[in-house]
């Protein structure tokens, strides 16, 4: 196969932990050809196809100078057997526009994973609303008074922006309500911005579990991202420690309920975030943790992904 990865600049990859790198490495091991581009390189002109400036690369097998570029060209996306959208968040206006360009490429015959329309339809925090039976008490609102009432009911809460990533902008407020008003103003910009509020789940001390679902089926191990020190955030980007562990019965229940539904919509790879027994996010843009799980358990997550990709084509 000839596979195009739409991603961040190759020079910014951290190959010792990067999930997209692990996908590329497994693809090359199987004899597939690899190319890469950034969303900013994709364009469309009336009367023509969606095209991109692409870099055809070969992995060197080392972590330093990890790729060699063999060729650069402008190519139609439909010329590739698969286009893998792996641009990291934030899901901003440019990401949104990129999904429309990729969807036009689909209409022309390209095969894009995850499906661009599904990337738009499943915002990573709000997507949990569809599966409320697995979610802890949650409020989505702009209204400061609603947040105050929610706090009065649940006493200990988490507040977060809908467009945050890597644990950015997450606040915990205890029963005393200290600084609640100021935090609400900071996050909702005096009622201009919608935020999410959730009852605090104390099991965060055991980790914010990333449960990967590939082709509708769960990877048998999660990566529990455990907060360190006085932090409440387990995100690896916020200093959390990643510990791989077998899925619990509840993890499996959630993954088996959501996996076939999301896969049927065109989401080949999904990352479910689970704290204790509760689903907190559904990550669809560029789920990570392949390398950490593989290194700690021996289960080959990139191979499972390539198996699912090949089966989908």
The alpha-carbon radius of gyration of the chain (Å, integer) is: 20
Q: Which member of 18, 233, 251, 292 is catalytic? A: 233
Q: Which member of 18, 208, 251, 281 is catalytic? A: 281
β-bridge pairing 67-76 and 2-6: unpaired
β-bridge pairing 221-226 and 278-283: unpaired
β-bridge pairing 208-214 and 217-218: antiparallel
Residue 210 annotated as catalytic: yes
Residue 233 annotated as catalytic: yes
Q: Which member of 160, 188, 208, 292 is catalytic? A: 160
Residue 310 annotated as catalytic: no
Give the whole-angstrom CA distance, residue 42 versus residue 110. 13
Chain Cα centroid distance, residue 79:
26
Residue 55 annotated as catalytic: no
Query: Residue 197 to residues 176, 236, 256: CA-CA distances in angstroms?
Result: 16, 22, 26
Query: Residue 19 to residues 16, 168, 291, 292, 303: CA-CA distances in angstroms?
Result: 9, 21, 6, 9, 12
Query: Residue 261 to residues 36, 119, 215, 264: CA-CA distances in angstroms?
Result: 30, 14, 10, 5
Q: Which member of 26, 225, 235, 251 is catalytic? A: 225
Residue 38 annotated as catalytic: no
Cross-strand bridge partners of residue 139:
197
Residue 199 annotated as catalytic: no
Q: Which member of 210, 235, 251, 292 is catalytic? A: 210
Residue 40 annotated as catalytic: no
Residue 75 annotated as catalytic: no
Active site residues: 125, 160, 210, 225, 233, 273, 281, 283
């Amino acid at each position: 196969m000839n596979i195009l990865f739409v991603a961040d600049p190759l020079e910014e990859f951290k190959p010792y932990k990067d999930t997209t790198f692990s996908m590329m490495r497994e693809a090359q091991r199987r004899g597939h050809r690899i190319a890469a581009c950034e969303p900013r390189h994709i364009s469309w002109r009336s009367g023509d196809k969606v095209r991109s400036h692409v870099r055809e690369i070969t992995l060197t097998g080392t972590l330093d100078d990890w790729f060699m570029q063999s060729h650069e060209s402008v190519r139609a996306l439909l010329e590739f057997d698969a286009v893998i959208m792996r641009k990291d968040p934030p899901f901003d206006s440019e990401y949104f526009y990129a999904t429309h360009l990729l969807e036009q490429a689909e209409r022309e015959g390209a095969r894009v994973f995850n499906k661009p329309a599904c990337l738009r339809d499943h915002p990573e925090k709000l997507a949990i609303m569809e599966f409320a039976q697995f979610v802890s008490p949650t409020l989505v609102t702009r209204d400061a008074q609603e947040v105050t009432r929610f706090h009065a009911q649940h006493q200990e809460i988490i507040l977060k922006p809908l467009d945050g990533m890597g644990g950015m902008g997450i606040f915990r407020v205890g029963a005393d309500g200290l600084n609640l008003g100021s935090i609400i103003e900071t996050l909702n910009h005096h009622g201009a911005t919608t935020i999410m509020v959730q009852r605090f789940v104390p099991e965060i001390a055991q980790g914010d579990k990333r449960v990967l679902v590939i082709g509708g089926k769960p990877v048998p191990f999660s990566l529990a991202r455990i907060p360190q020190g006085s932090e409440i955030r387990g995100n690896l980007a916020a200093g959390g420690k990643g510990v791989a562990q077998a899925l619990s019965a509840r993890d499996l229940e959630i993954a088996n309920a959501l996996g076939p539904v999301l896969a049927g919509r065109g989401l080949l790879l999904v990352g479910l975030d689970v704290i204790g027994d509760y689903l907190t996010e559904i990550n669809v843009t560029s789920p990570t943790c392949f390398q950490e799980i593989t290194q700690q358990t021996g289960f080959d997550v990139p191979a499972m992904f390539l198996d699912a990709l090949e089966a989908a084509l």
